[in-house]
Amino acid sequence: MATDKGNESLWGGRFGEATDRFVQRFTASVDFDQRMAAQDIRGSLAHAEMLRDVGVLSDEEFAAIEKGLATVQAEITAGTFPWSIEREDVHMNIEARLTALIGDAGKKLHTGRSRNDQVATDIRLYLRDASDTIDTELRRLQRGLVDLAEDHAATVMPGFTHLQGAQPVTFGHHLLAWNEMLERDRGRLQDCRKRMNQSPLGAAALAGTTFPIDRQQTARLLDFTAPTRNSLDSVSDRDFAIEFTAFAALLLTHLSRMSEELVLWTSAQFRFIDLPDRFCTGSSIMPQKKNPDVPELVRGKTGRVNGHLIALLTLMKSQPLAYNKDNQEDKEPLFDCVDTVLDCLRAFADMVPHIEPEIERMREAARAGFATATDLADYLVRRGLPFRDAHEVVGKAVALGVETGLDLAEMDLDTLRGFSSLIDADVFEVLTVEGSVAARNHLGGTAPTQVRLAVKAARQRLVESNEESP
């Protein structure tokens, strides 16, 4: 078969023929890794400055590189940069353009480094920036949840187990449960960021370099906390990408669970909340429909992020040390995770402050299904009946309720006393849904007083973690 020859490449020296056109396209990553251009330039500047300080580059050469890279950045920003698949990836595109702009000094930039440590550095820088944007968006969503929880500290809704009405809870308490999930997610992101925030620059291809480089300096210039410790590990490690993707998968799992509840709650059967029209879409055939597309789509996006986690784990599982071209496959899943997480967080952060609970409807639903049965049992226990006996007594009262269609609070005192003479008129205080939630007044409980305290504490943590954030 005839080989369709590509143009001359940067490694032309050793090769007798040009790269096959298909192979060129197959091995190229520039279409997707150009989004790391700003990080690549930043890394190159730090490397060049260090090379000057250790005497490998002259002052003039460094000045030319600095100026040339500024031009490259300006071209990229303006959209005039001549990206070329023949230069394979973002690194070689930028280096080639730099050399075209400034001549020989551009050819010296790659002294003492390899694309292997370069790409490892770029992804860490990129992901670190992305993590900080994600953290900001996560906090915006948390603030929305906490504010809404405060507004609805005393709004009663049914709490569910097995999706069967179980006991009344407050809407604020439910929203703060979501906030707990997100707070753990933020913790995981920060933790992952710590290990990500180390500089692999200087590992070169795999074994380090013969030049007298200063890895502490480049780490410092790039705001990394320290250089990585082992050159082989530095160019091959993608744990940080897997950790980030695992964070993303768990975050999306949480957003998906929230979405599932929003979808249920907006249905005509639940009618617990209303979402503004701008977050919903209609049906092309059924005129009455208002579909919760945004939460549904977030729920759906969880699948692709989970897929990316498996993709990265599988990508790494059999790779020998050190760098392998396989690693080029880390980028698309990773970038898609970043985009998906940011989109989903934005959708939620925009939507949450506008969730409107149908307060009366929620309260009615909380009253249904003998939701205060446990409260009646607890009442009897406080009057001396052992809990198991109380459980039995209340079970009989519920059976009568099922038969007559009356809730416990709707039965008259005589009827209730028929089940136990320990019952007095004050029983009706515990049989209301408000009495039920107010009675669960302890740390982590659903009582409005506790929800207000929890809101305060959550807000405090948000402020503190913001101050600690890098």
CA 412 to chain centre: 52
One character per residue 30-59, x = contact with ligand ARG (rule: CB under 6 A): ---x--------------------------
39 vs 142, which CB is nearer to ligand ARG? 39
Residue 173 has φ and ψ, to the nearest 5°, of -65, -40
Nearest-CA neighbor of 98 among 117, 121, 119, 82? 82
Residue 325 is a binding residue for ligand ARG (CB under 6 A):
yes
Least distance CB 115 / ligand ARG (angstroms): 4
Give the C-alpha distances (Å, rounded to integers) separating 181 from 43, 129, 154, 304: 35, 23, 22, 20
Residue 328 is a binding residue for ligand ARG (CB under 6 A):
yes
Partners of residue 20 on adjacent β-strands: 5
Residue 155 is a binding residue for ligand ARG (CB under 6 A):
no
As a residue count, the chain comes to: 470
| Helix, strand or coil, per DSSP, at residue 156 | strand
Residue 234 is a binding residue for ligand ARG (CB under 6 A):
no
Least distance CB 91 / ligand ARG (angstroms): 6
In this structure, the number of other CB atoms found within 10 A of the CB of residue 8 comes to: 11
DSSP label of 432: S
Nearest-CA neighbor of 208 among 223, 227, 224? 227
Rounded-to-integer distance, Cα 221 and Cα 42, Å? 9
Residues 6+ apart with CB under 8 A from 78: none
Is 465 designated active site? no
Residue 228 is a binding residue for ligand ARG (CB under 6 A):
no
Task: Out of 115, 124, 174, 301, point to the residue binding ligand ARG (CB under 6 A).
Answer: 115
CA 375 to chain centre: 39
For residues 79-98, which are near ligand ARG according to CB under 6 A? 89
For residues 295-324, which are near ligand ARG according to CB under 6 A? 323
Number of residues that bind ligand ARG (CB under 6 A): 10
Is 283 designated active site? yes
Helix or strand run (H / E) with residue 90: helix 90-102
279 vs 323, which CB is nearer to ligand ARG? 323
For residues 15-34, which are near ligand ARG according to CB under 6 A? 29, 33
Of 91, 131, 256, 283, which is the active-site residue?
A: 283
Residue 327 is a binding residue for ligand ARG (CB under 6 A):
yes
Binding site for ligand ARG (CB under 6 A): 29, 33, 89, 115-116, 119, 323, 325, 327-328
Catalytic residue list: 162, 283
